[in-house]
Structure 1
Amino acid sequence: MYEDIINRYIQSYNERDIEGMLDCVTEDVIFENISNAGHSMRFEGRDAMGNVAELSGNAFSYRRQKLVSLVVGTGKAAAEIEFEGKAAVDLPNGVKAGESIKIRGASFFEFRGRLLSRIADYS
């Protein structure tokens, strides 16, 4: 059950299907992104997540997440994720428009029922 929702969330992300992503989360979802470069963000709620997903999607001409490994427990899961993309604009982390990036990170998921209630991405 948990693997299915994570796979659907990542597939929606890769397809730039914001509504599909939002269908995978609770109304009060918490999303965190923590970067080794010192940049981080945190927001709460489906509406905020949709707004950020649209903005971040526009920052890349191409982007893709690949699920490398997944460990699932009761109400929680941890994943190793590989991200690759090509910046469409200059990014705050120093990546310039037109540059490609490829990073590995970890994502931690918490569930309420069949939906994601917290997503924390570390890269």
Structure 2
Amino acid sequence: MTQDVIARYFEAFNAGDNEGMLACLTPDVEHHVNEGQIRVGKVKFGEFLAHMDHCYSENLTDMVFFANTDGTRGAAEFIVNGTYKATDEGLPEAHGQTYRLPAGSFFSFKGGQISRVVTYYNLADWVRQVS
């Protein structure tokens, strides 16, 4: 079941279905972003998604899902294929650059929903690709 929820979460991501992603989360989800502050709750997560949609267009490929035996934790490894559409604060200027970046996400579960999302990627590699 854990891997099914992760798969639904990423299927929604690739479909641009933010509501579908939010439906996979607990109301008090903790979102640990790469190089950023922890955001708590679906509202903050939704704001993050809207910001990402404004600045980036991304599609994930080569996805592999993992889960522990009791269904409380899971992970995914994937490739982010993206276009940098609008300049994000503190980052290089955007002018439609494309990038391909390995990444991974880790999840905790509560009541069959995602209660924690942690995402990692190599920011220096991304900056190199878009600079």
Quote how far apart the aligned CAs of 1:8 are: 0.8
Alignment of 1:1-123 (within 5 A): 1-34=1-34, 39-60=35-56, 62-73=57-68, 74=70, 75-91=72-88, 92-94=90-92, 96-123=94-121
Q: Spell out, residue by residue over 1:39-82, the C-alpha distance to the aligned partner (whole angstroms, 9 max, x if none).
A: 3232000111111101111112x311235322210210122121
The letter of the residue matching 1:71 is: F
- Rate the CA distance shift 1:13–1:96 in 2: closer, same or farther, 3 A: same
* TM-score for the superposition, normalised by structure 1: 0.87
Give 4+ residue runs of structure 1 displaced > 4 Å after superposition.
none
Q: Secondary structure at 2:86's aligned position in 1?
A: coil
Q: If each structure's helix is expressed as a fraction of its own residues, which one has the higher value?
A: 2
Gaps of 5+ in 1: none
Quote how far apart the aligned CAs of 1:95 are: 5.8
The 8 Å contact of residues 67 and 79 in structure 1, kept in 2 or not, is answered as no
Q: If each structure's strand is expressed as a fraction of its own residues, which one has the higher value?
A: 1
Larger Rg: 2
RMSD: 1.5
**Number of residues of Structure 1 aligned to a counterpart in Structure 2:** 118
The letter of the residue matching 1:46 is: K
Q: Spell out, residue by residue over 1:75-106, the C-alpha distance to the aligned partner (whole angstroms, 9 max, x if none).
A: 10122121111011123432622000111111
Q: Secondary structure at 2:87's aligned position in 1?
A: coil
